[in-house]
Amino acid sequence: MRRTVPTWEHGRVNASCLPAELRAQIADCGYFPEFVTDSVALALGDEQVVTHLVHHEATFAHDEIHRHVTVLVVTDTRLLVVHTDDGPATDALGHPTPSDRAVTSCEAMPLRSVSQVSLSRVVSRPQTFGTPGSEVVETWLTLGWGTMRRIDLEPAACADQSCTADHGYSGSVVGDDITVRMSVTADGAEQVTRLVSFATTLQQLVGAQR
């Protein structure tokens, strides 16, 4: 299959290399779609999209709304994670920045480096699963690839509540992974189905790399 290589036009990447369905889903989010599409196309390069997932979430803080779009793209060789957020409120010197800014970041890793693809499903009326009225109402997808890890430490203690000795610290090493959560109530049944399809496809591709 002939690849469509992204080209630059007026400072932007020609995003015609992206599948029409992916471009439409990004546009449906209504959050700087041209910028998000450009970021995904730039990260994709000349590779073909095998499967993808678009997740749009908004959080509220007092009288402000913060929006975030995550686009997951899988090719034959890589997993791309593209995040787009509202720009920072202040610059490096602490000065306020204009409100009409957005920032994007992309992490790309070989499929062979993906160490975890976990899918969890919440089903209503499991006793009648497979019949009308029983459905997947919520899903979680957790991905891990071991690029970064953090150590969570806390003071260690013993069972004796009156003990004042220094027992050092205890802790755990936690992988810096990503979790995408979708529900029928918040995202719609179609998005929940897309997440399940994306996760199962990625699990198969990652397993084939071992």
Let me know if residue 93 belongs to a domain: yes
Residue 131 shares a structural domain with residue 199: yes
Q: What is the pLDDT of residue 209?
A: 84
If pLDDT is split at 50, 70 and 90, which confidence band does 1 have?
A: very low
Q: What is the pLDDT of residue 166?
A: 75
Q: What is the pLDDT of residue 46?
A: 87
Sign, Cα dihedral of 119, 104, 22, 19: negative
Average pLDDT over residues 33-59: 91
Most confident listed range (80-89, 155-164, 201-210): 201-210
If pLDDT is split at 50, 70 and 90, which confidence band does 155 have?
A: confident
If pLDDT is split at 50, 70 and 90, which confidence band does 156 have?
A: confident
Let me know if residue 163 belongs to a domain: yes
Residue 105 shares a structural domain with residue 12: yes
Q: Could you report the per-residue pLDDT of 64-102, keeping only the tens digit for each?
A: 667 889 999 999 999 999 999 886 665 555 666 666 778
Between 40 and 98, the more confident residue is 40
Average pLDDT over residues 132-151: 82
* CA-wise closest residue to 32 among 82, 84, 73: 84
Average pLDDT over residues 159-166: 76
Q: How many structural domains does the chain have?
A: 2
If pLDDT is split at 50, 70 and 90, which confidence band does 148 have?
A: low
Residue 48 shares a structural domain with residue 106: yes
Burial bucket for residue 168 (CB in 10 Å: 0-12, 13-18, 19+): exposed
Bridge-partner residues for 172, per DSSP? 152
pLDDT at 177 over 60: yes
How far CA 151 is from CA of 113, 117, 145, 194, in Å, comes to 21, 22, 16, 33
Q: What 3-state class would DSSP assign to 188?
A: coil
pTM, two decimal places: 0.78
Q: What is the pLDDT of residue 98?
A: 61
For 131, the domain range is 114-210
pLDDT at 195 over 70: yes
Domain boundary among 80, 110, 140: 110
Domain boundary among 110, 131, 162: 110
Let me know if residue 3 belongs to a domain: no
